[in-house]
A = this chain, B = another copy of it.
Amino acid sequence: MKIRYSQITIIPGNPAENYETCRRAALRAKNDGVNVLILPEMAIPGYLIADKFEENDFIDDCEFFSRKLCCEAGEGFSIIFGTVMFYESLSKSPRIGTDGRKAKLNTAWIATKNNVYHKVKTLLPNYREFEEPRHFKDNLWVKGAMNEWDMFETYNIGGVSLGVMICEDGWDDDYDLKPFEATSKNGAQILIDISYSPFTAGKNGIRNRKFSAHARNLGKPVMYVNGLGLQNNGKTIFCFDGSSAAWNSKGELIAHSKMYSEEDVDFEFVNGELVCLTNTDYKQTTEIQDIHDTLVYGIKNYMAQCGLRRAVIGASGGVDSTLAAALYAEAIGRENLLLVNMPSQYNSQTTISIAEKLAANIGCWYTSVPVGHSAAHTFEQINGLKPTNCNGESIELTLSSFNMENVQARDRGSRILGAIASAWGAVFTNNGNKTETTVGYATLYGDVAGFLAALGDLWKHTVYDLCRYINSISKKEIVPPEVLTLKPSAELSENQAVDKGLGDPLIYPYHDRLFEAMQQWWNRASLADILQHYLDRNLAEYLNHDDNSDLTEELIRSHFLDVKTFTDDLERWYKLFKGMGVAKRIQAPPIIAVTRRAYGFDYRESAIQPYFTRKYLELKAKHL
């Protein structure tokens, strides 16, 4: 029996188009003498479509196109694919969900010549960006009892018993039910997991170990079939990387598709073993390469999905906008990219030169538009202005130099870049990294503005790593090397003069890791944990725990000689993280997720006052 998986691209919310993609895969498969074609989870509706799952007419269309796809099955040719369906279409009796709407299911359809079988997803993820129980009922709800025999049926196709599972069903660590084990017990000879799972740095390694272990432990070959595409939940954009793979019954990897690559991969099932017929030419990749490829894919496809071609980048000569320019050039082509330097009296020739060089290295469009006159005009209009009331009283407005920093930032973003983007039929980008996004070190409607925050899930050290990576893979140098040694600075006042070594108040090698621990770790570090490790003089080791950073205890000590200096800094940034940072993130552009906790729909926040726990306050009081 010849089995194929097709790693196809799925469009969110477009069953008509997805049907066509699936049908083309089916026609190719039939043409190539394939007996069983396997397609990803939710191949018809798409996956991250938020509350569109509540629209019955949309679900009707998904069912219609799913049924239509089943018509492609026939003599010696079956199709397994993921789609959404109403419970009532499965059971012929209506049943509603706890939201008062018709119950819906995330299902795999197994379409054979004479029958269509429906397998309901058992484990529904409900963390990070996932919220399947909001929309779907699970296999247990459908079957009504935790009876493994009934719940984990297998499907005999061409004399081979196939076990079909869906995505999270294979990630059973934290669940009571174990679909892989149960399906194997029920006699499945091949364990198939159809998925639609987004890229997260480091996840593919974990996934390969997990699924290899399923195969080895159960002594059955395993296939993991993932799709491609860009889908979002509004605030957070996810790139579905494919990386479909298969393991033989010893748990050995026999196929591994490339990331973001449409591929058909064929297998033969002989003597109880799965043999791969296609050379998938898989090479282990590095994490920085994966992140790079994800961002380029994300930018390219988000632009395309929004019907956009051109982008304008405010190029300050700093490392963030430099990386943004390099990534956009790859994603949309240098002819569609315009860099705009917007100098004021505070901008150094150093950074202006970097911006110019960058544009020349890339070969994109470049221009310079100063902000000075407009900032002065705003100062004239507003400073000293005297609003009155009906009693003839008045107040007087005064713009401080700090206020003027924000005036400049807003002038650059909302006035200049906004106007240039509309004049060129383009959008302008947000170049903020995750470190500054964490503490809101940016101006709303200024550098917080932009249609997309491509770097919004990158800590500052990853921004540097990506710049170096891009130079390493480019024929000629793209990133001017001086940007990598420059002191990061907003250049909005005399106190931020880069040539004097002045700049951002963040100590990136430390704050990067600190914020990562507070925001990104699965079990987040509390302030009390952090303070305790500072007191125990092993904070660097603690903060480096799931990563290889160059943060040292000496660096921490050199900045924070005593507990008070340490806690003052810690509380300052914690308050910004939980306070102004949240307020700015609420109005910030969508972020391309690459880490295991991106801001937005993945890491959900409420704008509330920062809270210090008793444990932290007591520990601090004891040592101050």
A interface list, Cβ under 8 A from B: 11-16, 46, 48-52, 54-58, 60-61, 64, 96-101, 123, 125-127, 131, 133-134, 173-175, 231-235, 305-306, 334, 338, 340, 359-360, 363-367, 369, 373-374, 377-378, 381-383, 385-391, 395, 397-400, 403, 406-407, 410-411, 413-416, 418-420, 422-424, 444-446, 449, 451, 522-524, 526-529, 582-583, 585-590, 603-609, 611, 613-616
Contact = CB atoms under 8 A, between A and B. Distances in A.
A205 to B, nearest CB: 18
Contact of A582 (B101, B234, B522, B586): B234
A560 to B, nearest CB: 21
A407 B305 CA distance: 26
Contacts of A414: 410, 413-415, 445-446
Contacts of A389: 334, 359, 363-366
A374 B418 CA distance: 14
A258 to B, nearest CB: 26
B395 A423 contact: no
A526 B420 contact: no
9 contacts: A13-B611, A49-B608, A50-B605, A55-B526, A64-B614, A126-B134, A232-B608, A305-B609, A586-B589
Contacts of A605: 50-51, 234
Contacts of A133: 126, 133
Contacts of A373: 377
Contacts of A406: 418, 422
A604 B50 contact: yes
The 9 closest A-B pairs by CB, nearest first: A414-B414, A367-B387, A99-B127, A57-B526, A397-B423, A50-B604, A414-B445, A365-B387, A50-B606
A398 B424 CA distance: 7
Given A50-B605, A364-B389, A587-B588, A424 B395 contact: yes
Given A14-B609, A131-B131, A608-B12, A410 B399 contact: no
Contacts of A306: 583, 607
Contact of A416 (B60, B381, B416): B381
Given A395-B424, A615-B57, A232 B607 contact: yes
A613 B419 contact: no
A529 to B, nearest CB: 8
Given A397-B424, A587-B589, A606-B49, A403 B419 contact: yes
Contacts of A55: 524, 526
A123 B100 contact: no
A611 B14 contact: yes
A99 B57 contact: no
A51 B130 CA distance: 13
Contact of A445 (B46, B397, B445): B445
A165 to B, nearest CB: 16
Contact of A410 (B134, B383, B418, B586): B418
